Chains A and B, each alone.
Chain A
């Protein structure tokens, strides 16, 4: 004879635990013959459904900002290609030759083709050990012989953007993506994605890059180093970011934001803008978009796919002296860089700040420090994230023969605290170990 309470215990357990065959047989046999227990068991099941479907408190924007202030790390962004970068391409080619001469011994050392020791330079100013680590040579075309002759991808073809993912640095090049493996210090893959890849971003287990001519978003599987989807979107996609389970793309020429569902690779929303977007980032569950004059910041709500707020920042971000180059979210604030300073917007207080001289265009916002690197002056600067005061600075090429004439640059921070700076100056990837 089965006790009714024992049966209901089994009914409750069946919701949360698997029942053994004998337990299930006992439960079903009893419920078949006992309408009261059957009703009570149904109550328990319905109650579980009600609990699952109950409405819940929703985290506030303020909480999101508080958490992001604690956990948000660097999310460096690159600016879209401008006429200035194209104009500097020729000069950068000259720099390539010089830079290559300096970096080649390192390259040879890493490839085991010679016994030349790695050049190590100690930067002044306390920034740390700055080492010309390796040239961005494409292993498919590079040849390293006894005469130190090699061919590499053109200087303007690389270092437009970089992203750290899966133990590698992923870099944009002229028509594809280079994967530099940190463990082996070697470029282990080159993935052709089309012409002019701009931004590179890691989300939903994939590497994403925006491509122009024609406008598309390309998805790469990092486990196979292959393109798994090319999603035509038209226009000039420049910025990529992810939030709210979607990939968001800023289109510079059609003045819109596209929302892409990574589960289907389909564009599921288009948000028209009244400005020319030049950069996009995500913070506090919201998207932040800057205009080409740094006069306006837009806050876009992913819940409604609409512009939730248009913020006039013309009074304080960068002024008219420089064009915006990068937009980054971190420490609960939005950071907009130019080529001679950084503007900061605090969404909580609405406060605008500006700091830095000869600072930018790339920054990396961390809890310990804010790092800024300048492609036109090869200056690396470290700021206190609380006071925004300059702590120290140094020239990346202080003891190097390379000349700072490049434009494109990207900076990433690895888990061990190493800074990685990709630059088209000398076509190199730099490893910087910050001083403690």
Chain B
């Protein structure tokens, strides 16, 4: 199987600055993708970020980039995987920025944002019936959690590798570790 890549390029990101003009047929294609993907994509982003507000920003940005991609080039061959790739990258990027910001807050002696983050996560967990499972998911390393969430949303191992930008071998290891850690944590939770 040939290598797959769903990653957005710098050129596509730069194109965001340009005004776009979307044709009706393009619009309908995008609308179909929007209707089909929004629910799962937002659930994925919310699980990944543990924060509804961040998830909303990320998903909105992902669809904006899809429009620009369609205008400047064409609708991606697999728009669903493309959207998940962009969403994953945005979530990881936001997570890194937040970690840096938190470190600076601590250096400056200001109260960190842990309290706010916990409140945001509690909101997410309240909206999810499977709180224990989602809490365990949230405690996984980012790429581990993302891999499991992508698998849960129906992506194959090969597709997950493409979305995460990793080799199939590395993805296989990530998924194994993620499933193994999750199993152990949930079993430990059941035992207590």
Residue ranges of A at the interface with B (Cβ–Cβ < 8 Å): 8-9, 12-13, 15-17, 40, 43-44, 47-48, 50-52, 54-60, 62-64, 66-67, 70-75, 163-167, 202-204, 242-245, 285, 366-368, 412-417
Determine the chain B residues whose CB is within 8 A of the CB of A12 once the complex forms: 175-176, 179-180
Q: How far is the CA of A415 from the CA of B30 in the complex (A)?
A: 13
B99 contacts chain A at the CB level, 8 A cutoff: no
Query: Do A367 and B20 have beta carbons less than 8 Å apart?
Result: yes
Distance A70 CA – B130 CA, assembled complex (angstroms): 33
Q: Given A56-B46, A66-B60, A70-B60, is A17 in contact with B34 using a C-beta cutoff of 8 Å?
A: no
Instruction: Judge whether B133 and A56 touch: CB under 8 Å.
Output: no
- Say whether B93 faces chain A, with CB atoms less than 8 Å apart: no
Question: B67 and A50: CB pair below 8 A?
Answer: no
Task: Please give the residue numbers on chain B whose beta carbons come within 8 Å of chain A beta carbons, in ascending order.
Answer: 19-28, 30-32, 34-36, 38-40, 42-44, 46-47, 52, 55-56, 59-60, 63-64, 66-67, 71, 124, 127-130, 133-134, 137, 148-149, 151-152, 154, 156-158, 160, 168, 171-172, 175-176, 179-180, 182-183, 186-187
Known: A59-B42, A417-B21. A16 touches B175 (CB 8 A): yes
Contact B67 A16 (CB under 8 A): no
* Among candidates A9, A15, A17, A59, residue contacting B168 with C-beta atoms closer than 8 Å: A17
Q: Can you name 29 A-B residue pairings with CB atoms under 8 Å?
A: A12-B179, A16-B151, A16-B156, A17-B157, A48-B179, A51-B133, A54-B128, A54-B129, A55-B129, A56-B39, A57-B124, A59-B39, A63-B59, A63-B60, A66-B60, A67-B34, A71-B30, A71-B34, A73-B23, A73-B24, A73-B30, A74-B24, A75-B24, A164-B23, A164-B25, A368-B21, A413-B22, A414-B25, A417-B21
Instruction: Name the distance in Å between B65's Cβ and chain A's nearest Cβ.
Output: 10
Among A62, A67, A417, the residue within 8 A (CB) of B63 is: A67
**B contact residues around A416 at 8 Å (CB):** 23
How many residue-residue contacts, CB under 8 A, span A and B? Answer: 172
Is the contact region of chain B dominated by helix, strand, or loop, or is it mixed?
A: helix
- Chain B residues with CB under 8 Å of A64's CB are 38
Bound-state Cα–Cα, A338 to B190, Å: 64
The answer to whether B21 touches A55 (Cβ under 8 A) is no
Closest to B187 in A: A43
For B64, what are the chain A residues with a Cβ–Cβ distance below 8 Å?
Answer: 67, 70-71
B182 and A47 form a contact (CB under 8 A): yes
Complex alpha-carbon distance, A242 and B55, angstroms:
26
Chain A residue numbers with a CB within 8 Å of B127 are 55, 57-58
B residues near A75, Cβ cutoff 8 Å: 24, 27
Give CA–CA (A312, B38) in the complex, Å.
30
B37 to chain A minimum Cβ distance, whole angstroms, is 10
Asked if A44 and B179 sit within 8 Å, CB to CB, the answer is yes
Q: Tell me the minimal C-beta distance from B162 to chain A in angstroms.
A: 13
**Given A9-B176, A48-B152, A71-B30, A415:B19 Cβ within 8 A:** no
The answer for the CA separation of A16 and B31 in the assembled complex, in Å, is: 30
B134: which of A13, A54, A60, A164 is its contact (CB, 8 Å)?
A: A54
Least CB distance, B24 to chain A, in whole angstroms = 4
17 more CB-based (< 8 A) A-B contacts, given A17-B168, A40-B183, A413-B23: A8-B180, A47-B183, A48-B179, A54-B152, A56-B44, A57-B46, A57-B52, A59-B39, A63-B56, A71-B22, A71-B67, A72-B27, A74-B24, A165-B28, A413-B24, A415-B22, A415-B71
Shortest Cβ gap from A167 to chain B (Å): 8
Alpha-carbon distance between A52 and B150 when the two chains are bound, in angstroms: 10
**Residues of chain A lying within 8 A (CB to CB) of residue B168:** 17
Q: Which 3 A-B pairs have the closest CB atoms?
A: A56-B43, A415-B23, A73-B27
CB closest residue in chain A, given B137? A51
Given contacts A70-B64, A163-B24, A413-B21, contact A17 B40 (CB under 8 A): no
A residues within 8 A CB of B157? 13, 16-17
Residues of A within 8 A of B67 (CB): 70-71
State whether B25 touches A165 (Cβ < 8 A): yes
CA distance A59 to B156 in the complex (A): 25
- Chain A residues with CB under 8 Å of B38's CB are 59, 64, 67, 285
**Within the assembled complex, what's the spacing in Å between the Cα atoms of A163 and B27?**
12
A51 to B130, CA, bound (A): 9
Task: Report the minimum CB–CB distance from B157 to chain A (whole Å).
Answer: 4
Cα–Cα, bound, A12→B36 (Å): 29
Closest residue on chain B to residue A364 by CB atoms: B24
Minimal beta-carbon separation of B76 from chain A (angstroms): 15
Specify which of A9, A73, A243, A412 is in contact with B35 (CB 8 Å cutoff). Answer: A243
Task: Give the CA-CA distance A221 to B178 in the complex, in Å.
Answer: 46
The minimal Cβ–Cβ distance linking A406 to chain B, given in whole angstroms, is: 22
Q: Which of A44, A52, A66, A163 contacts B183 (CB 8 A)?
A: A44
- Given the complex, which residues of A lie within 8 Å of B175, measured CB to CB? 12-13, 15-16
- From residue A155, how far is it (CB to closest CB) to chain B in Å? 24
- Say whether, besides A12-B180, A75-B27, A58 and B21 are in contact (CB < 8 Å): no
